[in-house]
Each structure stands twice: as structure tokens, then as C-alpha cells.
Copies of this chain bind each other. A is one copy, B any other.
Amino acid sequence: MKNNIRVERAKHNITQAELAEKINVSRQTINAIELGKFIPSTLLALKIARVFNSTVDEIFSLDNDD
């Protein structure tokens, strides 16, 4: 599974720490999700999407491994 959180953050000009704060998770959690180190819950994915005025499906997508 891949994601474009980094790109969305750049578009909206916010840091990992700021995104973390907006959705009430630790900065390390955002970092790990962004780097694909672990898969977030659907709840977090929805919250992240909302911050970016986007959708889960635009931000996260299946890749060949999945």
C-alpha cells in the first residue's frame, strides 16, 4: 500500500508534527505512516483525508504487493 501524504503536506504546507496534532496522534505515528512503516487504521486515514480536503482513496492506494 502506498500513500501521498508527503505531497499533500507540501501542498498544504504543514509539517508532520502539525498533521499529527490535528488528528491527535504522535508525530512518530505520522512519520511511520508516511514512510509506509505501518498501515494506519481507517479512522486515522479518514481523519488525514479530511485535513487535506481529500479522500482516503486519493491518499492511500493498493500496490502490487497487496
Contacts and interface: CB of A to CB of B under 8 A. Distances in A.
Interface of A: 1, 39-47, 49-50, 55-57, 60-62, 66
Contacts of A62: 43, 46-47, 50
A40 B1 CA distance: 15
B60 A42 contact: yes
A11 B1 CA distance: 27
A59 to B, nearest CB: 9
Contact of A45 (B45, B47, B50): B45
Contacts of A41: 39-42
A47 B42 CA distance: 12
A43 B66 CA distance: 8
